Amino acid sequence: MNFSLIMSEALQGLRRNVSMVISVILVTFVSLTFVGAAILMQAQIQKTNSYFEDRAQVDIYLCPEDSAVETCVDGAATEDQIAAVEEQLQGDTLGPLIDGFTFESQEEAHEALSEVVDESVASIISVEQTSAIFHVNLLDPDQTDVITEAFNGVQGVEEVTNQLEYLDPLFQALTIATYIAIGVAVLMLISAVLLIATTIRLSAYSRRREVGIMRLVGASNGTIQTPFVLEGVIAAFIGAALASAAVLVGVRVGVEDYLSQEAGAIPWITLADAWYVVPLIVGLGVILAAVSAGAAIRRWLRA
């Protein structure tokens, strides 16, 4: 099999069907860009989830003055009630589940609140109306229900909250966005496969005379089919290369240069993560193109 001759035939076929080849490149580019984006979005979800799980806290809010909760009918939590909560956290039942905890007094909680809300809002809430808080770090974030049940109905405790619950809507939104990207990518990949098959059949039909001559001189099926398969592979490879470049630029500019600067507390995916996706994008594009083009030319030759 003469490789230079086969490559020459493939390039000639690409030149004859420039418009169709450009269509294949664009469709492959868009579909594989969505594939890369979906993979990186899932990686970001896992990284963010792991980060917050490692730092997950259960906050035990103690009764302030004027609370309407049944466990706070006697007013603000007393020193004895605060000591009882601390003793329970250090006890034999809850102690083994806890990595550590800190206590934030009403004054400290009010000062922290003043830093995150407008001054006009902070001035409305007095120190006495602010809850003292126990911030509890767990060894296993899945054990938050144990802490909640342990302090449910305890006098002096107004509320027990799990910080991860506030992030669930964010993770759900990102997951839905990932599924949408995967759905669009699948549809676009199906379009790319069909377009590659159509392009190869048109290319074979336009060169049916050359194919007939090659059959008459005894050329093997592999020799006849290979140039057509290469046409699809080359077009898909160009599209995959463009998709890879788009993913890398998106992560570099959109994530590293913008999001990581605006929200540096969250661990974001990096360019190194994006480079791991590039071989998958290129490999997927080339394999789909080779399978689609091979099936199309074999079916055309049997017709």
Residue 252 pLDDT: 92
Residue 125 pLDDT: 79
Give the pLDDT confidence of 137-160 residue by residue, as tens digits: 888 777 788 888 888 888 888 888
d(Cα 47, Cα 273) in Å, to the nearest integer?
Answer: 11
Q: Among the ranges 42-51, 66-75, 242-251, which has the highest mean pLDDT value?
A: 242-251
> What's the farthest any 2 CA atoms get from each other in the chain?
102
Burial (Cβ within 10 Å: 0-12, 13-18, ≥19) of residue 15: exposed
Q: Does the structural domain 57-164 have CATH classification 3.90.1640.30?
A: no
Q: Give residue 182's identity as a one-letter amino acid code.
A: I
Residue 277 pLDDT: 93
Residue 18 pLDDT: 78
Q: Where does the pLDDT of residue 217 fall: very low under 50, low under 70, confident under 90, or very high at 90 and above? A: low
Q: Where does the pLDDT of residue 14 fall: very low under 50, low under 70, confident under 90, or very high at 90 and above? A: low
218: left (phi over 0), alpha (psi -120 to 50) or beta: left
Give the pLDDT confidence of 83-135 residue by residue, as tens digits: 988 888 888 888 888 888 888 988 888 888 777 666 666 677 778 888 888 88
- Report the candidate in 175, 294, 236 with the shortest Cα–Cα distance to residue 14: 236
Residue 42 pLDDT: 85
Residues 138 and 97 sit within 8 Å (Cβ to Cβ):
yes
Residue 117 pLDDT: 65
Looking at the chain, list the stretches that DSSP marks H as alpha helix, in order from N- to C-terminal side: 3-16, 18-54, 79-89, 106-116, 119-124, 144-150, 163-206, 208-216, 221-249, 260-262, 271-302
**Span 6-20, mean pLDDT?**
69
Higher-pLDDT residue of 86 and 170 is 86
Residues 8 and 134 sit within 8 Å (Cβ to Cβ):
no
Decide: helix, strand or coil at residue 48.
Answer: helix
Q: Are strands 133-138 and 98-104 parallel, antiparallel or unpaired?
A: antiparallel
126: left (phi over 0), alpha (psi -120 to 50) or beta: beta
Phi/psi at 134 (5° precision): -100, 120
Mean of the per-residue pLDDT values of the chain: 82
Q: Where does the pLDDT of residue 197 fall: very low under 50, low under 70, confident under 90, or very high at 90 and above? A: confident
Residues 86 and 157 sit within 8 Å (Cβ to Cβ):
no
Q: Give residue 2's identity as a one-letter amino acid code.
A: N
Q: How many CA atoms lie within 13 A of 226 on its CB side?
A: 15
- Report the candidate in 92, 103, 93 with the shortest Cα–Cα distance to residue 137: 103
* Rg, C-alpha atoms of the chain: 31
- Report the candidate in 270, 272, 39 with the shortest Cα–Cα distance to residue 177: 39
- Domain spans in the chain, listed from the N-terminal domain onward: 3-52+168-302, 57-164
* Residue 275: pLDDT over 80: yes
Higher-pLDDT residue of 225 and 182 is 182
* Residue 225: pLDDT over 60: yes
Give the pLDDT confidence of 285-299 residue by residue, as tens digits: 999 988 988 888 787
* Residue 234: pLDDT over 80: yes
Q: Among the ranges 28-32, 171-175, 216-220, which has the highest mean pLDDT value?
A: 28-32
Higher-pLDDT residue of 215 and 69 is 69
d(Cα 153, Cα 207) in Å, to the nearest integer?
Answer: 83
